[in-house]
Amino acid sequence: MTPFFVAEAMHVSVKAEKLFQFAGIDITNSMLLGFFGYLLLLAWLFFVSKKAAVAKSKKGFFTRLAIWCYTGLYNTCRQAIPSEKICRVVAPFAITLFFYIALQYYIGILPFVGEVVTWNGTPLLRGPDADLNLTFALSILTIVMIQFVATIKHGFKGNIGRYLRNPLKDPMGFFEGILELIAEFSRLVALSMRLFGNVFAGEILLMIVVWLTQFASPILLPFLYIFEMFIGGIQAYVFFSLTVAFTGLALAEHGEPNHDTESIEQKPIEAGVENV
């Protein structure tokens, strides 16, 4: 929603709206903006990777910010996942989710997103994080990744054994496995609905402010934009933290202390990071 648009009535759609078809696939307004955000993220990360190896004095603000974020997020992963080998599998995925969700959130609150530009009466652009299809897809990928690393840790049979147990030999374990299976589905729903609900509520808040303040909205909305930028970072970090926490739970040895602990030090993960 934009501060330069004076709304006569609010247009609220819970689901992303179809714009056109391409090769038999419905292209929605959130997909269009999401594809742009995906390319923007790739370009930014490619630029950062190029600049990360240069001297500190030649690093720009955004390069140092990216390295600082990556170092902090990796150390968070390292604290939740004792095995460094598995952490190096989980961390790139979880950290990429953080950057992806944050960037998609930020482009979703840009002034030209919303009803400013329309296509056959439909808003041309919509924030990708406000599309339940995207948040649900990210949650599915997260659960699949968790099951993958749990299989690495426990083995295929051991991972299945967390959910399916012999009810005759171990009735309590069988009941516990059913609860664990239900918990996996609840985590999937919680990850997707929590992100979608918070982002969609933020968009509605901006729309209400525009609709109520009309021509005064350019004065009031900048303060809300600052707040929304803070919220976007929080939402991305919460999704990242839940991903890491759920992974740690899946890797835990039930009924036994975890002896696979390694010294977790707050040390640079790449050469030259200490010079950031």
Per-residue pLDDT tens digits for 98-142: 999 999 999 888 877 777 677 777 778 888 888 888 999 999 999
List the one residue out of 190, 188, 194 whose CA is nearest residue 101.
194
Helix, strand, or coil (residue 112): coil
- In the prediction, which pLDDT does 261 show? 41
- In the prediction, which pLDDT does 273 show? 41
Q: Categorize the per-residue pLDDT at 209 as very low, low, confident or very high, splitting at 50, 70 and 90.
A: confident
Helix, strand, or coil (residue 16): coil
Interval 8-33 mean pLDDT: 78
**pLDDT digits 0-9 by tens, 47-93:** 888 777 766 666 777 788 888 899 999 999 999 888 888 899 899 99
Q: Which residue has the higher pLDDT, 191 or 203?
A: 191
Strands (E), 78-131: 114-119, 122-125
Interval 246-268 mean pLDDT: 59
